[in-house]
Amino acid sequence: MTPEKMIVANGISKTVSTAQGQLQILQPISFNVSVGESVAIVGASGSGKSTLLSLLAGLDEVTSGEIFLNGQAMHAMNEEQRAQLRGANVGFIFQSFMLVQSLSAIENIMLPAEIAGTANAKQRALDLLKLVGLDHRASHYPNQLSGGEQQRVAIARAFITQPKVLFADEPTGNLDAANSGKIEQLLFELNRDANTTLILVTHDQELAAKCQRQLHMHAGELTETAELSSIKHALNATQKRG
């Protein structure tokens, strides 16, 4: 039985210890994300976006609060359990692509499926590679691909396990305008087709506007501008149609 909410965050905060003492980089935050929803987290550099993403995706432990992903209590899990949860439910796209340099494009795409032990990973990887338009580059290594191409491989990799939720941290941050456009298009297309929940971190207002909801980070605090953004979103949609 799939829960209504994909992510439930209850007063999660993050404190790190530095040479100068304890530093709270995330004030207590509460919000929910529904299944299939797309959410943008926007804010200035250093405002805590990545920190929030790392907590939502289970890459890091919360200092306090509760967090549920797909109904499972992530705050009570250890790193191993979270790894398994990630493998089963989560896909990732990063600013710096994060491909394994010694694996070819196709092998990079297969990687999450192989970790999870999925059968026919190779066929699925080939299909996805075709989908992102790189089927002729299957055996190329990351350093033989352009930034845009690498990010397309990363997108294919993110979808191979058919994740329920996809986290993207500044996916176009390292790309030029033309490539950014292509990547955005691909990302939203695939997302819509698979009905994946999407959490997108960006400082790009235009990209954020393409999501159903925007959350604003400012100095570790979260403010929601849901209505405004949904109006913008509707406006965009009508403009495109017209």
Write out the residues near Mg ion by the rule CB under 5 A.
50
- Regarding 51 and contact with ligand ADP (CB under 6 A), the answer is yes
Contact region for ligand ADP (CB under 6 A) — 43-51, 79-87, 145-153, 223-231? 43-51
Q: In angstroms, what is the minimal distance from the CB of 25 to Mg ion?
A: 12
Residue 84 interaction partner, one of other proteins, ligand ADP, Mg ion, none, beta carbon < 5-8 Å per kind: other proteins
Give the whole-angstrom CA distance, residue 7 versus residue 29. Answer: 13
- On whether the CB atoms of residues 218 and 25 are closer than 8 A, the answer is no
Candidates 48-56, 175-183, 188-196, 222-230: pick the segment binding ligand ADP (CB under 6 A). Answer: 48-56
User: What is the DSSP secondary-structure string of 22-67?
Assistant: EEEEEEEEEEEEETT-EEEEEE-TTSSHHHHHHHHTTSS--SEEEE
Residue where the block lists tokens 């009570």: 76
Give the one entry of Mg ion, ligand ADP, other proteins, none that residue 60 binds, where binding means its C-beta sits below a cut-off of 5 to 8 angstroms depending on kind.
other proteins
State the nearest-atom distance from the C-beta of 203 to Mg ion, in Å.
Answer: 9
Report if residue 49 touches ligand ADP, rule: CB under 6 A.
Answer: yes
Residues in the chain: 242
Q: Which of 8, 38, 48, 183 binds ligand ADP (CB under 6 A)?
A: 48
Identify whether the C-beta of residue 198 lies closer than 8 Å to the C-beta of residue 191.
yes
CB of 28 to ligand ADP, least distance (A): 16
203 burial (CB, 10 Å; 0-12 / 13-18 / 19+) is middle
**Is 168 buried (19+), middle (13-18) or exposed (0-12) by CB count in 10 A?**
buried
Q: Which residues bind other proteins (CB under 8 A)?
A: 50, 53-54, 59-60, 79-80, 83-88, 90, 92, 94, 96, 98-104, 107, 111-112, 114-117, 141, 143, 157, 161, 169
